[in-house]
């Protein structure tokens, strides 16, 4: 026996523990803020020892960087799907849903917390800059891609400008979530359906 099944099982368990810690940390950051959330509170929420957390993450910065990476991977995979997307409908449907922990999108309050911390911490600022750059590149690829693979066949120059506007719109809606969680969905849907298709036209 070469021990590979046991190695695979151990790796799966380690990955599950890591994800559990990240989910608990995200919950603590959202509920208490980045600075008020201690490693002890994260350990308690994750129902693990603080020592176990330090096996995976050196400090809170390392945890928040891992959360950024995880969210970016989810978004990138979603954008790369070869399917036709009613973007306006999805944006309206997702409004407010990123307030939950099981959402694929970045939680609005957490994004604000990270953005504030980025003004003080160059490492987090660099991670968010990488997040922005990678997401914009994925949006550009989606906009220029052929329609048979779910894209919109925009010229490259137009795609760069539209990707920027879309990114601003995504982030603006996240900010709006924190200030107006009960926004009239009918009004939001109508507004998005009027203007978003204009950004996707060649």
* Confidence class for position 108, pLDDT limits 50, 70, 90: confident
* Confidence class for position 1, pLDDT limits 50, 70, 90: very low
Nearest alpha carbon to residue 142 among 90, 193, 94, 75: 75
Q: Where are the domains of the chain?
A: 1-57, 64-200
What is the arithmetic mean of pLDDT over 57-67? 91
Ranges of H-type helices in the chain: 4-32, 39-46, 50-56, 60-79, 87-94, 108-118, 122-144, 156-179, 185-200
Structure tokens at 21: 């810690």
pLDDT tens digits along 153-193: 999 999 999 999 999 999 999 889 989 989 999 999 999 99
Residue 105 has pLDDT above 70, yes or no: no
Find out if CATH 1.10.490.10 is the number for domain 1-57. Answer: no
CB 185 within 8 A of CB 175: no
Q: Model-level pTM?
A: 0.79
Q: Rounded to the nearest 10 degrees, what angle do helices 108-118 and 122-144 cross at?
A: 130
64-200 in CATH: which number?
1.10.357
pLDDT tens digits along 110-130: 888 888 889 999 999 999 999
């Amino acid at each position: 026996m070469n021990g590979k099944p046991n190695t695979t099982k151990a790796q799966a368990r380690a990955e599950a523990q890591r994800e559990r810690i990240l989910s608990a940390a995200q919950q603590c950051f959202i509920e208490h803020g980045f600075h008020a959330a201690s490693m002890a509170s994260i350990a308690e929420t994750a129902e693990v020892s603080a020592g176990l957390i330090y096996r995976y993450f050196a400090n809170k910065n390392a945890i928040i960087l891992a959360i950024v990476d995880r969210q970016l991977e989810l978004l990138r995979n979603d954008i790369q799907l070869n399917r036709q997307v009613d973007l306006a409908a999805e944006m309206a449907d997702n409004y407010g849903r990123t307030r939950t922990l099981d959402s694929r999108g970045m939680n609005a309050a957490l994004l604000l917390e990270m953005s504030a911390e980025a003004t003080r911490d160059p490492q987090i600022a660099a991670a968010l800059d990488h997040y922005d750059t990678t997401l914009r590149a994925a949006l550009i690829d989606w906009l220029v891609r052929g329609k048979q693979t779910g894209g919109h066949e925009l010229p490259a120059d137009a795609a760069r400008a539209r990707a920027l506007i879309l990114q601003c719109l995504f982030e603006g809606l996240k900010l709006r979530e924190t200030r107006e969680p009960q926004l009239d969905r009918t009004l939001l849907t109508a507004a998005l359906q009027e203007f978003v298709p204009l950004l996707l036209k060649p």
